[in-house]
């Protein structure tokens, strides 16, 4: 492990020397994870590489992102890659079911924009100041192939969603220049925005309504939280793929500095999502073994919902 970034030229030469490449994103993939993986896959395929993408199932809304045909469905053990590229994973454990394959592979590249990333690849291309993993993928593949409409659409989807619609502080003039180049490829940017940011499926709408109805605004600190149990998911015919946007919506409330969504992941595990306007919530999640970004982080605790919320709140109280 080099424990520092490799030059762009080194990353490109490692990719160019490889022929059988596996690309994986994080568990419960979001559009940045999907877009960056599929854009990289389409680019490498153009270069004649054998490429397989490992991604967990995701919401049908995200089918607007091209390149899904590169997703491998089968026994992962038959894959013998000479290069494994991890995308948008802020920690090695975020690779989920593909973690063992990553560990077995001699050549690994980690491309990421999470501040919590500890440079777990043999080669690393990590920058916590950029909008998205998709932006980093653009910087690499623009040097190795022609960016066509499908590749442009996948990258645009990742940048758009992870930058919060070009709103988060990691949106730079460089981000907008890249977006401008992508628009030149005649991508359907209106539809991508509507489907990925605006549209809610019926199940998403139901669980959103439930979560907002249960939201609690604290009196002593500017924090609001909500919780979702197995019962709630069942009642709404929803699962953890349907909860996007809830914790962000709660943060919109005037005066609120941190929002929390806690949901039951298993009988003994609670997933916590944190969002903030200014407070460093990566620091909070990291204290429990999680991570992410300064304004968006997550962690899974081996506790029930009530105890998990209490742990996070007592940690947060020290920040105000």
Give contact residues for ligand 5GP (rule: CB under 6 A).
Answer: 26, 90-91, 94, 114, 116, 273, 290-293, 296-300
Sheet holding 216-217, edge to edge: 216-217, 223-228, 258-266, 269-276, 296-301, 291-292
The item of Mn ion, ligand 5GP, none sharing an interface with residue 297, based on CB under 5 to 8 Å by kind, is ligand 5GP
| Interacting span for Mn ion (CB under 5 A) from 89-97, 145-153, 155-163, 187-195 | 155-163
Q: Residue 248's closest CA among 295, 292, 281, 195? A: 295
Does 88 bind Mn ion (CB under 5 A)? Our answer is yes
Q: Which does 210 bind (CB under 5 to 8 A by kind): Mn ion, ligand 5GP, none?
A: none
Please report how close the Cβ of residue 126 comes to Mn ion at its closest, in angstroms.
12
Q: Is 124 helix (H, G, I), strand (E, B) or coil?
A: strand
| Residues 128/117, Cβ–Cβ less than 8 Å | yes
135 near Mn ion, rule: CB under 5 A: no
Residue 162 binds: one of ligand 5GP, Mn ion, none (C-beta under 5 to 8 A by kind): Mn ion
Task: Determine which residue in the list 37, 58, 162, 228 makes contact with Mn ion, applying CB under 5 A.
Answer: 162
Give me the least distance between CB of 58 and ligand 5GP, in Å please. 13
Six token digits for residue 310: 């209490």
Cβ atoms of 132 and 163 within 8 Å: the answer is yes
- CA 27/CA 214 separation, integer angstroms: 26
Considering only the stretches 43-51, 67-75, 128-136, 212-220, report the one whose residues sit in contact with Mn ion under the rule CB under 5 A. Answer: 128-136
Considering beta carbons, is residue 43 or 296 the nearer one to ligand 5GP? 296
35 binds, among Mn ion, ligand 5GP, none (CB under 5 to 8 A by kind): none
Measure the CA–CA gap between 121 and 123, rounded to whole angstroms: 5
Nearest-approach distance from CB 318 to Mn ion, in angstroms: 28
CB of 87 to Mn ion, least distance (A): 9
- Residues paired with residue 262 on neighbouring β-strands, in sequence order: 227, 272
> Residue 53 and residue 193: Cα distance in Å, rounded?
24
Task: Look at residue 25 and give the partner it binds from Mn ion, ligand 5GP, none, a contact being a CB closer than 5 to 8 Å depending on partner kind.
Answer: none
Alpha-helix runs per DSSP H in the chain: 8-17, 31-46, 99-104, 133-141, 149-162, 173-183, 189-193, 202-213, 230-235, 246-251, 281-287, 305-317
| Nearest distance, CB of residue 308 and ligand 5GP, angstroms | 13
Quote the CA–CA distance of 238 and 248 in Å, as a whole number.
18
Which residues make Cβ contacts (< 8 Å) with residue 102, sequence separation at least 6? 24, 84, 86, 92, 95, 108
Both tokens of residue 294? 């300064």
Q: Nearer Cβ to ligand 5GP, position 26 or 195?
A: 26
∠ CA 287-37-47, rounded to 5°? 145
Instruction: Say which entry of ligand 5GP, Mn ion, none residue 32 contacts (CB below 5 to 8 A, set by partner kind).
Output: Mn ion
Site for Mn ion in 27-86 (CB under 5 A): 32
Stretch that binds Mn ion, among 2-10, 79-87, 136-144, 161-169 (CB under 5 A): 161-169
Partner interacting with residue 298 (select from Mn ion, ligand 5GP, none; CB below 5-8 Å by kind): ligand 5GP
Write the DSSP symbol of residue 195: I
**Minimum distance, C-beta of residue 111 to ligand 5GP, in the bound complex (Å):** 13
Report, in Å, the least distance between residue 135 CB and Mn ion: 9
Which residues are at the interface with Mn ion (CB under 5 A)? 32, 88, 132-133, 162
């Amino acid at each position: 492990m080099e424990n520092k970034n490799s030059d762009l030229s080194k990353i490109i030469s490692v990719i160019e020397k490889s022929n059988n490449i596996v690309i994986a994103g994080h568990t419960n993939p979001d559009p940045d994870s999907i877009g960056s993986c599929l854009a990289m896959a389409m680019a490498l395929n153009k270069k004649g590489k054998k490429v397989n993408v490992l991604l967990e199932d995701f919401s049908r809304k995200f089918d607007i992102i091209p390149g899904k045909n590169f997703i491998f469905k089968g026994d992962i053990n038959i894959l013998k890659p000479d290069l494994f590229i991890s995308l948008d994973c802020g920690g090695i454990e975020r690779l989920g079911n593909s973690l063992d394959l990553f560990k077995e592979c001699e050549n690994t590249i980690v491309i990421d924009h999470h501040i919590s990333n500890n440079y777990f690849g043999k080669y690393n291309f990590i920058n916590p100041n950029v909008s998205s993993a998709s932006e980093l993928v653009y910087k690499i593949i623009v040097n190795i192939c022609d960016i066509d409409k499908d590749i442009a659409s996948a990258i645009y989807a990742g940048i758009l969603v992870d930058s919060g619609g070009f709103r988060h502080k990691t949106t730079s003039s460089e981000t907008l220049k890249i977006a401008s180049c992508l628009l030149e490829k005649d991508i359907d940017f209106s539809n991508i925005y509507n489907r990925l940011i605006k549209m809610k499926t019926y199940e998403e709408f139901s669980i959103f309504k439930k979560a907002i109805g249960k939201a609690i605004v604290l009196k002593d600190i500017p924090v609001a939280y909500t919780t979702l149990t197995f019962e709630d998911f069942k009642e709404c015919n929803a699962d953890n793929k349907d909860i996007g946007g809830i914790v962000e919506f709660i943060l919109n409330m005037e005066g609120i500095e941190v929002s929390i969504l806690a949901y039951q992941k298993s009988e003994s595990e609670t997933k916590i999502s944190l969002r903030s306007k200014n407070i460093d919530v990566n620091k909070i999640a990291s204290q429990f073994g999680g991570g992410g970004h300064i304004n968006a982080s997550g962690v899974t605790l081996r506790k029930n919902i009530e105890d998990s919320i209490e742990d996070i709140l007592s940690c947060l109280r020290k920040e105000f």
